[in-house]
Amino acid sequence: MEGNREGAADASRRHLLLGKYEMGRLLGQGTFAKVYYGKNLSSGESVAIKVINIDQVKKEGLMEQIKREICVMHLVRHPNIVQLKEVMATKGKIFFVMEYVKGGELFAKIYKGKLKEDVAKKYFQQLISAVDFCHSRGVSHRDLKPENLLLDENGDLKISDFGLSALPEQLRNDGLLHTQCGTPAYVAPEVLRKKGYDGSKADIWSCGIILYVLLAGFLPFQDENIMKMYRKVFQAEFEFPPWFSSETKKLISKLLVADPEKRITIPAIMESAWFKKGFIINRNNSIKAAEAAAEEEEEEEEGEEESAVALSRSESSPPFFNAFELISSMSSGFDLSNLFEKKKKPGSIFTSRCTASTILAKIQSMAKGLKFKIVKSEEFKVKMQGTEQGRKGKLSVAAEIFEVAPEVAIVEFSKCSGDTFEYVKFCEEGARPGLKDIVWTWQGDTDDGIIDVRR
């Protein structure tokens, strides 16, 4: 009897999350979130659980940032990026269930002193591989620093904390980002100037700072006076310690260039002799590894193109990726509709007042202009395929026409094969402008998403 009482008391002391995870010790905390160690009750897998207070983030107007972080982490599945496994919620809290990376922060290693060149190179290679993948998906991290780089049990690097990351929809009409964010010691000069900047080029500057810090054990731009430090950053004024090799000096001198247009690109970094030496996973293999890790996710997304980011069409009210449907699909059936009001899909469906034959002819003309070949054409359906190899092979898209009322037709695009992100770009950058002459309205462009066919 005594043993049974102890067991019951033991169970009551366990902190269970929605019957699926056991939550343990506190790993860290920020202003609006705490991160706990957790364990999956069915598999025994260790996880990290980020707990966010909904009332606090709503009060601070940060709900869009939380949505964006979910979207980004779903997009960037890569061996060197912390994986988001699941998102759940109660009325007052959101729970990010993430990969548990138990090696700690890379910052802890640097705190003990500079690293050997071969060790620093390994981390830098993995960092660039992951950042390259992020950029290929339209994501800029914007807060790269050693504190946001974790190490797993094998000593491999994992990028974390995408809370300040940016998606293409945040670009203004000038094609640039304008939000000043990040940690000053690691932020590019163009960001500090509070003018428009290219997020991917700003990330490359941060990677240059990180490489310098790994090899030196201290920052390249330092001064007790913050304005003097900024002046050094603006002029890219720094010195190399005597132990830096000529090859590392050469590469860092190309990374820490004040003019973003003259700054080295990631493909050029990967082609440098210093970087290539000992780089086991090359750029293509890295992408394949990431795609393999995301294969299951891609299959689930075949008919759910809303799970890719919608590109910006308006500076005043940029459309946001349907975070509600994504978060719901990952949350084991929990209803999170009270968190997200916008439930509109990216523009893959439109209505038209033209005849089916006119619509079909216009779609075929658009396909030709986009260098897509028609592989199948019927009275109410056309299938087209891109000529260029994408990340998942050639993109193949079908368009089907439905006549729902006299002089009203609905046209729906769907992805047959290829990469989801590339499909959304096709819809936003190809179909939308290419078919504007025959479109009455795109789904999601009206206030309620409903078209009155009696008009």
From 10, 55, 132, 143, active-site residue: 143
**Contact yes or no for 391/291 (Cβ under 8 A):** yes
Question: For residue 315, what pLDDT is reported?
Answer: 33
Three-state DSSP class for residue 361: helix
Backbone angles phi, psi at 82, to 5 degrees: -60, 130
Three-state DSSP class for residue 351: strand
What is the Cα–Cα distance from 204 to 269, expressed in whole angstroms? Answer: 10
- For the question of residue 174 being annotated catalytic, the response is no
> Among 14, 54, 57, 56, which residue's Cα sits nearest to residue 36?
14
Q: What is the DSSP string of 409-451?
A: EEEEEEEEES-HHHHHHIIIIIIHHHTTTT-SEETTSSSSS--
- Other beta carbons within 10 Å of 357: 11
Name the amino acid, one letter, at 361: A
Our CA angle for 68, 386, 271, nearest 5°, is 70
Question: For residue 180, what pLDDT is reported?
Answer: 53
What is the Cα–Cα distance from 254 to 187, expressed in whole angstroms? Answer: 16
Phi-psi category of 317—alpha, beta or left, where left has phi over 0 and alpha has psi -120 to 50? Answer: beta
Provide long-range contacts, Cβ within 8 A and 24+ apart, for 338-342.
338/91, 339/54, 339/63, 339/89, 339/94, 340/67
Pick the CATH number of 14-100+317-345 from 3.30.200.20, 3.40.50.10810, 1.10.4190.10, 1.10.340.70: 3.30.200.20
What is the Cα–Cα distance from 384 to 377, expressed in whole angstroms? Answer: 9
Burial (CB count <10 Å: 0-12, 13-18, 19+), residue 34: middle
**Whether the predicted model's global pTM rises above the 0.75 cut:** no
- Per-residue pLDDT tens digits for 69-86: 887 888 888 999 999 998
Q: What is the DSSP string of 133-160?
A: HHHHTT-B----SGGGEEE-TTS-EEE-
CATH code 3.30.310.80 for 347-455? yes
Instruction: Label the pairing between strands 93-99 and 46-53.
Output: antiparallel
- Token digits for 284? 């293509």
**What is the residue-level pLDDT of the chain in tens, covering all 455 positions?**
555 544 444 444 568 888 899 999 998 887 778 899 999 999 999 999 999 988 888 888 888 788 888 878 888 889 999 999 988 888 888 999 999 998 888 888 888 889 999 999 999 999 999 999 998 888 888 889 998 899 999 999 999 888 776 555 555 555 555 555 557 889 889 988 877 888 899 999 999 999 999 999 999 998 778 888 889 999 999 999 999 999 999 999 999 999 999 999 999 999 999 999 888 754 444 444 444 444 444 444 443 333 333 323 333 322 222 333 333 333 333 334 344 434 334 457 888 888 888 999 999 999 999 999 998 888 788 999 999 888 778 899 999 888 766 677 888 898 888 888 888 889 888 898 999 898 888 875 543 333 333 33
Question: For residue 312, what pLDDT is reported?
Answer: 30
Reported as half-sphere exposure (CB side, CA atoms, 13 A), residue 300 has a value of 11
Question: For residue 88, what pLDDT is reported?
Answer: 86
122 annotated ligand-binding residue = no
Q: What residues form DSSP beta bridges with 373?
A: 385
- Token digits for 449? 């998403």
Residues, the chain: 455
CATH topology of domain 106-293: Transferase(Phosphotransferase); domain 1 (1.10.510)
* Domain range summary for the chain, segments of one domain joined by +: 14-100+317-345, 106-293, 347-455
**Contact yes or no for 70/84 (Cβ under 8 A):** yes
Q: Residues of 72-103 as b/e, b for ≥16 C-beta within 10 angstroms?
A: bbbbbbbbbbbbbbbbbbeeebbbbbbbbbeb
Q: What Rg value do the Cα atoms of the chain yield, rounded?
A: 25
